[in-house]
A and B are shown apart, each in its own frame.
Chain A
């Protein structure tokens, strides 16, 4: 097993990985940009190295700086988290060259699954159902028009190197095709440095169901069941759950086996996710392989009881997967809400600033993967995800109730967050009925105003604000002055210590 791992990421996912390492007795090296000096992951890691200025291109995306930090600190492996360099084959190749273990798939498989067109050809040959679409990338727009006519409208434009909805567009008619392709290319270029886009058939009433896979370096592959991630805003997942309401055991087994086939056909190893779209007639189509640990992995962890990050590390260290498909079970129901620093009442504009007050929900079946603490600054440079709130309960109904309560008790003051929006979705009858399609938000929440129905809470809030103003804030007694009465938890700020391994 490794003695030291460098985590090439920030925020909640870096914290998540540091925790796994600590439990395994592995020491950790955090990297950070100048804007992240005071970030939680920097405080929690055993060592921390500044890798450059705030802009991600100069820090978290700078391969040379990260490799140098790993070498200086003698880290044997690098965990990339998600985003940034996680799916950059140049980075994993460089790690391989420098003799540093990349905790993720081999660079060849990553290269293959990262190329949406090539990966589709590969899995199609293996008998995996795919969405009708382009077989190669063209330079001329006129060729796209021909392809679009062949596939039939509505069609979807997608970035070849993409993910997370960037560069993606739906086109309903030929007139809009050219401008949409050009816009998609620009977006793809700025997001991924590669402007290639391709077209495919747009599936109606689609549901997004993905399978979590673990594959070791010895040919053993298991799937850890599905996650449904249909609740998306602008093609970004915001709520994920397992099990999916769209599939039964029969379809689940069938899709799970197909997902394993995809992994086998692409020569993929370590943790990965095979994404499918399901249409209203329960046809499923392969979408893509996400060659990384995913944001929503905790959902699977809660229903299977497994620690995916620890399995990733063990697989990367060459260990054999001790899991057998037959002995894996889906237990209960789990839901995740992504908490973003954005203002749902103001067009979801990212919100930055200082966290003035923080109360984190806790209780049975509640897990919070968070990258923030009371007093920390939310920088403007990165993805605005603050944390992920995940609940587990016996069944979906109870999980919804638990999530609703947990969101009520999650207080973040100082920046705007998506909590109120998420709460309204979870408690809506359309969500509770489980009729979740990828256009759910558009269909049910496009006119969401965020105005609350409870007049009493509004009045109480106003009373508090008036009282505060009248008293000019809280006046502590002189002897209390230095303590201030702020919520303070030593566990969130305590720095470098760990269990499990002596020096």
Chain B
């Protein structure tokens, strides 16, 4: 799964093992929240508001994060949407917005869409029926790059930019998901 660059910055103060401490900023329920995570061995030191916790945290799957706080184990379900995180914890659901993305709205969304254009992905998991281009080939906007079958339907995946096929990761017959690119494009050198 591809994610945005880490939104926090390492603490400038390098002392007391603080090098691994990263601060993140979010908006939840219209409230601005800072949260820091510091990796310490196999544990994490977390600062939220004025509280500090020591926790075991791990991904159980792409959407489930397990948080162990003093032997109480919590299961948090998390998915990254277009504009933030959808999170479910013990019956409560939150929508958590990234502050960085929000601030640099125009630029980051432009960057994001450029990245989306370069990374060619299927909108849903399926099977690659055919790759219509080869590496180093020039492609134009709207040109069919690959055909993917999903839910008994064939979908043509088209290029949203003019460019060159840099690398192809999948071949016909491959099962793919919507997170990993089928191929990567690059801009034509002018």
Query: A interface vs B, CB < 8 Å?
Result: 37-38, 43, 353, 356-357, 359, 375, 407-409, 411, 413-414, 416, 419-420, 423, 450-452, 454, 457-476, 481-482, 484-487, 493, 495
Q: How far is the CB of A372 from chain B (nearest CB, A)?
A: 13
> Could you say which residues of chain A place their CB within 8 Å of the CB of B140?
none
The residue among A452, A460, A481 with the most chain B CB atoms within 10 A of its own CB is A460
How many chain B residues touch A (Cβ–Cβ < 8 Å)? 64
User: Contact between A452 and B92 (Cβ–Cβ < 8 Å)?
Assistant: yes
CA–CA, A466 to B28, complex, Å?
12
Question: In the complex, A420→B95 CA distance in Å?
Answer: 12
Known: A357-B86, A459-B48, A484-B179. A469 touches B93 (CB 8 A): no
20 contacts between A and B (CB under 8 A): A353-B81, A409-B91, A411-B93, A413-B81, A413-B87, A450-B29, A451-B29, A461-B28, A461-B88, A461-B94, A461-B96, A462-B94, A463-B53, A463-B76, A464-B57, A467-B67, A476-B62, A481-B180, A482-B176, A484-B62
B92–A458 contact, CB under 8 A? yes
List of 5 A-B pairs having minimum Cβ-Cβ separation, nearest first: A408-B91, A485-B61, A413-B86, A473-B1, A472-B3
A-B contact count (CB 8 A): 179
In the complex, are the beta carbons of A463 and B177 less than 8 A apart? no
Q: Contacts A357-B77, A470-B37; is A459 near B51 (CB within 8 Å)?
A: yes
A414–B62 contact, CB under 8 A? no
Assess the B24–A470 pair: CB atoms within 8 A: yes
| B126 CB, min distance to chain A CBs, angstroms | 10
Which B residues are CB-close (under 8 A) to A451?
29
How long is the Cα–Cα vector from A454 to B176 in the complex, in angstroms? 39
B161 in the interface, Cβ–Cβ < 8 Å? no
Of all chain A residues, which has the CB nearest B33?
A: A462
- Asked if B181 lies at the interface with its beta carbon under 8 angstroms from chain A, I say no
Return the chain B residue nearest A485 by Cβ. Answer: B61
- Within the assembled complex, what's the spacing in Å between the Cα atoms of A466 and B35? 7
Segment of B4-12, B107-115, B129-137 in the binding face:
B4-12
B residues in contact with A408, CB < 8 Å:
90-91
Q: Contact flags (1/0) for B104-124 with A, using CB distance below 8 Å?
A: 000000000000000000001
Chain A nearest CB from B184 CB (Å) reads 16
Given A357-B79, A357-B86, A485-B63; A469-B98 close (CB under 8 Å): yes
B188 contacts partner chain A, Cβ-Cβ < 8 Å: no
Identity of the chain A residue whose Cβ is nearest the Cβ of B23 in the assembled complex: A466
Q: At the interface, yes or no: B78 with Cβ under 8 Å from chain A?
A: yes
Residue of A nearest to B61 (CB): A485
* Candidate in B2, B48, B82, B150 with the most chain A CB atoms within 10 angstroms: B48
**Cβ-closest chain B residue relative to A343:** B95
Does the CB pair A474–B92 fall under 8 Å? no
With A451-B29, A474-B62 known as contacts, the answer to whether A464 contacts B125 (CB < 8 A) is no
Is B151 on the interface with A (CB-CB < 8 A)? yes
A243 to B37, CA, bound (A): 52
Q: Does B80 contact A (CB under 8 A)?
A: yes
Q: Which of A359, A468, A485 has the most CB of B within 10 A?
A: A468
Q: Are B153 and A465 in contact (CB under 8 A)?
A: no
CB–CB B92/A465 < 8 A: no
Q: Which residues on the A side are within 8 Å of B24 (C-beta)?
A: 465-466, 469-470
What is the interface of chain B, defined by CB distance below 8 A to chain A? 1-8, 22, 24, 26, 28-29, 33, 35-37, 44, 46, 48-49, 51, 53, 55, 57, 59, 61-63, 65, 67, 74, 76-82, 85-96, 98, 124-125, 150-153, 175-180
Specify which chain B residues have a CB less than 8 angstroms from the CB of A37 in the assembled complex: 151, 153
Interface contact A462-B62, CB-CB below 8 Å = no
CB pair A473–B90 under 8 Å, yes or no, is no
Q: Are B93 and A420 in contact (CB under 8 A)?
A: yes
Residues of chain B within 8 A of A420, CB atoms compared: 92-93
Contact B28 A458 (CB under 8 A): yes
Q: Are B46 and A463 in contact (CB under 8 A)?
A: yes
A460 near B89 (CB under 8 angstroms)? yes
* A462-B28, A473-B2, A485-B62 given; A457·B95 CB < 8 A: no
Output the least CB separation between B59 and chain A (Å): 4
CB-based nearest B residue for A496 = B152
* Cα(A407)–Cα(B91), bound, Å: 7
Question: Is the Cβ of B65 less than 8 Å from the Cβ of A464?
Answer: yes
Neighbouring B residues of A375 by C-beta, 8 Å: 124-125, 178
B-side contacts of A452, CB under 8 Å: 92
Residues in B with CB closer than 8 Å to A353 are 81-82
B153 and A462 contact, CB distance less than 8 A: no
Contacts A356-B79, A464-B57, A470-B6 given; 20 further ones with Cβ under 8 A?
Answer: A356-B63, A357-B86, A411-B93, A413-B81, A413-B93, A457-B91, A461-B92, A462-B28, A462-B33, A462-B96, A466-B46, A469-B3, A471-B59, A473-B3, A473-B62, A474-B61, A476-B62, A481-B177, A482-B177, A495-B152
B76→A464 contact, CB < 8 A:
yes
CB <8 Å contact, A414 and B79 = yes
CA A356 to CA B84, docked complex, whole Å:
12
A486 to B124, CA, bound (A): 12
Q: Which residue of A lies closest to B153 (CB)?
A: A37
Q: Specify which chain B residues have a CB less than 8 angstroms from the CB of A469 in the assembled complex.
A: 3-4, 6-8, 24, 98
Chain A nearest CB from B81 CB (Å) reads 6
CA–CA, A297 to B6, complex, Å?
50
**Whole-angstrom distance between the Cβ of A465 and the nearest chain B Cβ:** 5
Contact B89 A465 (CB under 8 A): no
- A411:B88 contact, CB within 8 angstroms: yes
A474-B1 contact in complex given A463-B48, A464-B67, C-beta closer than 8 Å = yes
Q: Bound state CA distance, A375 and B35, in angstroms?
A: 30
CB distance from A459 to the nearest CB of B (A): 5
Determine whether the beta carbon of A462 is less than 8 Å from that of B78.
no
CA distance A408 to B75 in the complex (A): 13
Contact (Cβ within 8 A) B62 A465: no
Q: Is A463 within 8 A of B175, CB to CB?
A: no
Task: For the complex formed, measure the closest distance between the CB of A396 and the CB atoms of chain B, giving whole angstroms.
Answer: 21
Contact A465 B77 (CB under 8 A): no
Report chain B residues within 8 Å CB of A407.
Answer: 91
Which partner residue on chain B sits nearest A356 by CB separation?
B79
Residues of B within 8 A of A409 (CB): 91
